[in-house]
Amino acid sequence: MKVNNELMVPLVKDIMTKKVIAFRFDFSLFDAIEAFNKYQISAAPVINEHSEVIGFLSESDSIRCIVNCIFYDENRNNTIDLIMNRNFQSAQPQWDIFELENFFVSKRIRVAPVVNQEKHLLGIVARKDILQSLEKILRKLVEHKKNLKEPDELQLREKIRMIIDFK
């Protein structure tokens, strides 16, 4: 979708992160926590052996599990498949950033995997990606407006001449 002659509204496929940290369903909770901390991410898709997204794991899911283990003295072998969210929401690559933001607001989420029809992982997209895109659009718009020429103010004599010539 064009905003003006120069500005295009980006699509999810244009702004998503294509190099994704993804977990296999048999990873341990400790593997996930280590990845969250090491790569400074807050959520990641969970994939099976066919690279199909089967779940989504967030820091919140991990914290909830750790708290249960600590305070209820549960000592389970916590693999991701036991704590991941199987009812996750995914974004579509052809959505524009405004559709994506509406999706995030309506689902009350901040990050989502991007998948194709076969549920294969294409990337991941977050609100920060929308904000970065909007910043680029805004900078281009400001630059565009700076480059517009101001119309010259006509002198009173020229204005009168135009009115007379118009009649």
**Residue 1: inside a domain:** no
SS3 64: helix
Q: What is the pTM for the complete model shown?
A: 0.75
**Structural domain span for residue 25:** 12-148
pLDDT, tens digit, for every residue of 26-82?
999 999 999 999 999 999 999 999 989 999 999 999 998 888 888 876 666 678 988
User: Can you give the pLDDT at residue 135?
Assistant: 93
Please give the tally of structural domains in the chain: 1
CATH value at residue 65: 3.10.580.10
**Residue 158: inside a domain:** no
Rounded distance, CA 80 to CA 29, Å?
6
**Residue 35: inside a domain:** yes
Alpha helices in the chain (DSSP H): 12-15, 29-39, 59-71, 80-83, 97-107, 127-147, 156-166
Sign of the dihedral through C-alpha 112, 116, 121, 123: negative
**Residue 157: inside a domain:** no
**Residue 81: inside a domain:** yes
